[in-house]
Amino acid sequence: MLRWKALAQVILQSQRGGSGPLTLRAVSPGLQDAVVSLSIRAAPARPAVAVVEPLTELPYWRFSPAMAQRPDPNVVLADNDMNSWTWGEVPMKQAPETPSWRTYRTDLRLRADLNDGRAHLDFRELAGRAEVWLAGVKLGEKTSDAPADFSVLLPSGGTQRQLTVLIESQPTHPSGIRDRVVVQRGGT
């Protein structure tokens, strides 16, 4: 008589959050049936970190001195100009002042996945009337003096372009880029 031993392995996976009895039955001709009953209960979720979209933030800017007249948003700033324009980091809050215009400028560098014409440039708070320009093209205008969030659609284009924001303040109100400036991926 030929005898041999064999092992079988079964892997079970229940539905997430499932519970109750589970009966497993193994049947094979010529062999004794085997039955096992298990009690299934919900297990706590495995610890995990939420998937977060990479954030493109624009924290570093140059800004002009206050001006009485609306400046040209396309004015060319000399690379060696260290006297008339100042470097700043958001938030950049300007006290109420006369003259009322300031120009803010930074280089916008976009990853390929944000350079598809659907991404948004979000100012979390702009104070004063504002115009947003990208590579010499006006993208949008905020017409209220009151501090508010402001968003413009970014057209596709070069991976590095000059972003300019003109802000006009009122003599009795502070102005400036008062909170974060981020690029958000557009809808699919």
Q: Which domain holds residue 81?
A: 56-184
The count of other CB atoms within 10 Å of the CB of residue 119 is: 20
CATH of the domain at 136: 2.60.120.260
Task: Determine, yes or no, domain membership for 20.
Answer: no
Task: Determine, yes or no, domain membership for 34.
Answer: no
The pLDDT value given to residue 99:
81
Which residues are bridge partners to 7 per DSSP?
none
Number of domains in the chain: 1
Task: Determine, yes or no, domain membership for 30.
Answer: no
Task: Determine, yes or no, domain membership for 9.
Answer: no
The pLDDT tens digits of the residues spanning 73-132 come to 999 888 787 778 889 999 988 888 778 899 999 999 988 888 999 999 999 999 999 999
